[in-house]
Structure 1
Amino acid sequence: MTILALVLDVLAYGIYAAQRQAANLYMPGTIAQAVVVVGLIICLVAFKGKRFGWFNFETWVHNFSLRYAIVVLSFILNALLLFLYVLNVTGRNGLIFN
């Protein structure tokens, strides 16, 4: 699942690079980014590896394992990117492509 999350990140970067070149790709790019986010949600739910590492008794928290942390961070960043795409498509904020 970690490799799949990294592949989806590369795909998301390709989508972003294509949209930077042509403004008429904003809506298809937003739909493609939504598909990437749904794929990452599936990766989060279907992850079969070790999710938590060692327990830190000083702060009383479990740390994510490295492989699961990559999937979680990939999901968080791509979900934020999808939010910015939706703001751009609706015309509320064009920050992402300026």
Structure 2
Amino acid sequence: MEAIVSLNGGHARIALSGDFTFEAHRPFKDASQQVMANLDIASLEIDFDGVDYMDSAALGMLLLLRERLGQSPIRLTNTRGTVRAVLDVANFGRLFELD
């Protein structure tokens, strides 16, 4: 998996591509740390446009990121198909904004 970070003022975006699984731990962690190092970030978007599959380890990574960012809102965009089904079953719509 690849995770590309872009920063624009107080908004950060992580664009994911490939399968979001346990093997993606390192690239996701690196991208997350890059976002958290910027103290001006008020919101985060994680773009799932290039992701067709995610597993429970990915859910755990998202939860850890949410915990570390505190009150900053996190929006999960371009969630569809299997990815959206996994997020819905896990009730992530209660924790994140889903598009």
> Structure 2 length as normaliser, TM-score?
0.35
Structure with the bigger percentage of strand: 2
| Greater share of helix | 1
Q: Which has the larger radius of gyration?
A: 1
- Considering Cα pairs closer than 8 Å and 6+ residues apart, tell me whether 1 or 2 has the greater RCO: 1
Give the TM-score normalised by structure 1: 0.35
